[in-house]
Amino acid sequence: MTRLFNNPAAFADEALEGFAAAHRRLVRRVPGGVVRATATATAPGQVAVVVGGGSGHYPAFSGLVGQGLAHGAAVGNVFASPSAQQVHQVARAAQSGGGVLLAFGNYAGDVLHFGQAAERLTAEGVPCATLAVTDDVSSAAAGESEKRRGVAGDLAVFKTAAAAAEAGLPLAEVVRLARLANARTRSFGIAFSGCTLPGADAPLFTVPAGRMAVGLGIHGEPGLAERPVPSADEAAELLVSTLLHELPEGVESPRGQRAGVILNGLGSVKYEELFVVYRQVARLLAEAGVETVDPEVGELVTSFDMAGVSLTLFWLTDELEPLWTAPAEAPAYRKGTVVPVAAAEPSTTGEPSTTGEPSATADLDPVENTAVPEASEPSRAAARTALAALGAIEATVRAHADELGRIDAVAGDGDHGIGMRRGSEAAHAAGRRALERGAGAGTLLHHAADAWADRAGGTSGALWGVILRALGTALGDTERPDAHAVSVGVDAAADGVMRLGKAETGDKTMVDALVPFADALSDAVGGGAPLAAAWDTAATAADAAAAATAGLLPRLGRARPHAEKSLGTPDAGAVSLALIVRAVHGALAGATAKPTAESTA
């Protein structure tokens, strides 16, 4: 288990700070992550390859930043994608005029946030492309490879793209080669125990004694099946035979093929064990007629303390092989000898400030310097109620964070409680600062939305940013908010969440509680009920709908491959929404009870 930590919600930030301090010759902190620590991090006109994902997988992703590898890495919370703001900031720091390739694992939160960042970069005139790695054969059938998640095969795709960029190829060629590498990469994993998140008192999943999980993910997702624990040679045979069963398009037989090989330890399987397994992997591949090229054996993509191992085969072509074998130097990956590049000036190394002043590379509040427009007194009064609601949300999430994580861990990665806590705390703090600057209800909620999305990351961070922003837009800063305006805002929030998350009712997501809440609120307000009473009715509907998700099978997200495991357990996103809207009712009822707040309800 993870034994050394301070505040679990701050674990990812503190780990990144220590990493940058330990490797300041190679990387430097920037808002949102790290970039190369060279005088010219990216040669003028060179494509910048920016990778990223959640923390908890070191050396992915920050450990892969350096010459011949990534130009930058956006680093999210534990098992949660970085926010669009973080990705955008890292990409801006890394790019030098040749465009940007954003590469990441194929997870809903990463797809959302990296996609949003790419849209923003493109709008700013920075050519940008995205690539989601899809190498895990256990996460979807061969005919649905676009649904597969990215695991240790990330390294093969990132290395290919970065070497192509280092060679001076234009963005279109870098993207083509990265996509080719992704199409020719396959991974498969097994595990003997699950991982434990910082602060948690139990692993995300357990495996019975004498058994192993087959086809697990790297976020603590349980395997798809269980088998007896094999010998090292038997494990090698399972890994190799599974991957040889599915060859890339155009490859009819493994005989005569060349492949890059990655035998990856997931956290607790140590190097000597890996070498015992690789001994048989190498034999089996040779017997199949496969020539291995520059094999990598070690911890490349981990999952905290998970006891497991995965095998990746990267089927090479004449143009891919020199990119796989090209030299690279990063904190956690070295190959060959790179041509030394001058280091950056000391003032930009990302070292902690010794003057007491904030570091120039400290993460920035995404709304701290945003102008606050003038607001009417009725709107500022409503902003005080909105801030009280944000405070109630923060307190409720903090009280239920562990339980939300437990629910999420049944078939997912268990990070929902931590992410919701980080997001709600950031939203409340941003709202408080906005109110101190005279913000109306709309602006306060917009600031809270941006802070929640940026701080929480992950799918839920993006979706709660949508919810708060839709409410803020509906309330505005000039008119006196009423029940109708709030109902309109909630309807817009539901539409926005479904549009961004691509979820519908019945998919076992937050939507299954949000839509009934919005419908019940609209009906109650349309019937003439005051806001607090209407909200109470709608919160009751949300609570019932969230409980009913226990009977659904997930059709989206990380829980989809483990659908049967989640049956009988409600969706964590739906449960958190129901808890939150009930907490907000308390703030609304309290505001209505005050004579001066009557008009704001």
Tokens representing 393?
Answer: 């949300």
CA dihedral 42, 35, 20, 80 (to 10 degrees): -160
Residues facing 263 on adjacent strands: 297, 311
Helix, strand and coil in the chain, % to nearest 5? 50, 15, 35
State the catalytic residues. 219
**Alpha-carbon span 350 to 569, nearest angstrom:** 44
Residue keyed to tokens 């060349």: 258
Tokens representing 388?
Answer: 């009280």
Tokens representing 53?
Answer: 């994902």
Angle value at C-alpha 373, between 372 and 377, nearest 5 degrees: 105
Strands 128-133 and 100-105, how do they pair?
Answer: parallel
Q: Which residues lie closer than 8 Å to 527 by C-beta, 6 or more apart? A: none
Half-sphere exposure in the Cβ direction for 82 (13 Å, CA) = 35
**Alpha-carbon span 218 to 424, nearest angstrom:** 26
Burial 475-513, CB ≥16 within 10 A → b, else e: bbbeebbbbebbbbbbbbbbebbbebbebebebbbbbbb
- Smallest CA-to-CA distance from 49 within 164, 136, 221, 216 is with 164
**Alpha-carbon span 442 to 376, nearest angstrom:** 11
Q: Which residues lie closer than 8 Å to 430 by C-beta, 6 or more apart? A: 365, 367, 447, 448, 450, 451, 452
Q: Are 143 and 137 in contact (CB under 8 A)?
A: no
Which amino acid makes up residue 361?
A: T
Helix (H, G, I), strand (E, B) or coil at 275: helix
Q: Which residues lie closer than 8 Å to 458 by C-beta, 6 or more apart? A: 54, 76, 77, 80, 81, 109, 415, 419
Distance between the two ends of the chain, CA-based, in angstroms?
48
* Other beta carbons within 10 Å of 302: 22
Rg (CA), the chain: 25
Residue keyed to tokens 């890495």: 73
